Chain A
Amino acid sequence: MLNVDRLTKRYGTITAVDGLSFDVGPGRVTGFLGPNGAGKTTTLRMLLGLAAPTSGTATINGVRYRDLPDPARTVGAALEADCFHPGRSAIEHLQIMATAAGISRRRPAEVLDVVGLTEAARRRVGGFSLGMRQRLTLATTLLGDPGVLILDEPLNGLDPDGIRWMRDLLRQLAGEGRTVLVSSHLLAEAAQTVDDVVVINRGRLAAEGPVAELTAATSTSNLEDLFFDLTSDHPNDHVREACPS
């Protein structure tokens, strides 16, 4: 369970995240949506202890990330698909991460198999395509077999097969009872992947809830229309009534 409570982040006079509150529950894929600059990545950084909130709290299972006793086995998180030393092979990268987290030596090969990179295990990451990096990023998050997954733009750079594979995997992981939060700007793809959405705009919550309920309440036909209405300067009357924030 993820809980964000009145979270605020200011950089000088700029407010990147403004009193944001939402919850993300287990067993469902939750999309974290918003236009560029809405504060998605800043929010995820605060949730993951990489940035300090100006005020408010962000917790995972009721605990701040920095206070988690075994973070790698609790949360699998990826903020960018390019956090690798280009001179290391995929298996070396995972072995280093597994060693740091105290995870068994067998696990790196297992997660490479899960993401379909077994044959590329000994290739240098510097030669990987963006899609392969996304897969390796996901493999890194799965090392500790965590109950919570937080992924920033995991669909970027994937080809159609890769997107379908990622969608199926995320749904499978949620089906196993895990909490899955994915940010994305690919609305059509997100619509086929997520059960719930948290939509933010200009650092504030625009709407949260199951996609079906939100589209029904706002009389929009799909997630894309809902998104544009929520993030528009002039939302329609149904959206104003259903999502006053």
Chain B
Amino acid sequence: MTTIARLTRAELRKLMAARSFLIGLALSAGLAVISVAVDAASAGKNGHAALGTAASTDQMLKLGSVCCVAMLVLGIIGSGSEYRHKTIIPAMLIAPRRGALVAAKVIGIAVAGAVLSTLTFGLGLATAVGELSGRHIHHLPADTGTLFAGSVIAGTLFGVIGVALGYITRSTIAAVVGAVGWVLFAELAILHTLAPHLAKWLVTGAASTLTDPGVLASRALTPATAIAVLSGYTLVLLAVATRLVLRRDVA
């Protein structure tokens, strides 16, 4: 077995042993189910679109953002907590070639991201189908498959972004504050306001194309372009993180 294969197996064991992943998975899936049930219950009331309309179903299937937030936090915890608990020291003693360590962490979180996003969107979709069929509505929007795949890909990439941020900051709190600050202030408050034509090229813009039925339908970006944009941000952050991990002394 190669070094990266061994390290990846160890990363998956860490995830299964960590309460944070199991809690994150339960919260994410639970939130998706509750969100769909609440949307279905409020459909047709207080100005909400009636159940079965495209607008109502779109609202129910906005599940990708849950996957993205959950995986961003889990990715940050995955790498940042290695420094917080100093487990980075025995990890680097076992794998002194640090690039392999980063690669294994990325693969492990990517697998976790795919699993969590698939379960979250899948359970949310199953709930939506149940709510709709209970009222004799048996059709879903044509973009449902694209949204499902987009949410899984976005959730996976956000997990890797979280890993990169955790390695860069070496602090789970600093990474979460930095990520939230970037999204809320830099992207949503400043760039979306000052340069709305650039919004679709930002992290949140590309992620929205993949996870928000309304944005996807507007075709501001094609899904393939959105994946490329989000992958680009992920690779840049990962390159910075890898460079820092390789060069920094471990204190």
Contacts and interface: CB of A to CB of B under 8 A. Distances in A.
Interface string B78-98: 000100011101111111110
Contacts of B7: 100
B94 A97 contact: yes
Interface residues of A, number: 33
Contacts of B249: 45, 50-52
B17 A80 contact: no
Contacts of A85: 14, 17-18, 81, 85, 87
Interface residues of B, number: 26
A75 B250 CA distance: 18
B241 to A, nearest CB: 18
A100 B85 contact: no
Nearest to B16: A92
A10 to B, nearest CB: 12
Contacts of B13: 92, 95-96, 99
Given A65-B96, A66-B97, A84 B89 contact: no
A156 to B, nearest CB: 15
Contacts, number: 78
Interface string B205-246: 000000000000000000000000000000000000000000
B93 A77 contact: yes
Interface centre among A72, A78, A96, A101 (most CB of B within 10 A): A96
Given A92-B17, A96-B14, A50 B92 contact: yes
B90 A140 contact: yes
A14 interface: no
B89 A102 contact: no
A163 interface: no
Contact of B250 (A51, A66, A68, A82): A51
A52 B248 CA distance: 8
B93 to A, nearest CB: 5
Contact of B94 (A50, A84, A101): A101
A96 B89 contact: no
A95 B13 CA distance: 8
Contacts of A72: 93-94
Interface string A43-70: 0010011111000000000000110100
A78 B92 CA distance: 11
A87 B92 CA distance: 20
A187 interface: no
B10 interface: yes
A72 B13 CA distance: 19
B136 interface: no
Interface string A72-93: 1001011110111111110010
B93 A48 contact: yes
A79 B96 contact: no
A71 interface: yes
B223 to A, nearest CB: 37
Given A96-B13, A99-B13, A83 B89 contact: yes
A211 B118 CA distance: 64
B45 interface: no
A84 B88 CA distance: 9
Contacts of A78: 90
A83 B94 contact: no
Given A99-B6, A99-B13, A87 B94 contact: no
9 contacts: A50-B250, A65-B96, A68-B96, A71-B95, A80-B86, A82-B86, A84-B87, A96-B14, A102-B6
Please name the 5 residue pairs, one residue from A and one from B, whose CB atoms are nearest each other, closest first: A100-B10, A51-B249, A50-B250, A99-B10, A66-B96
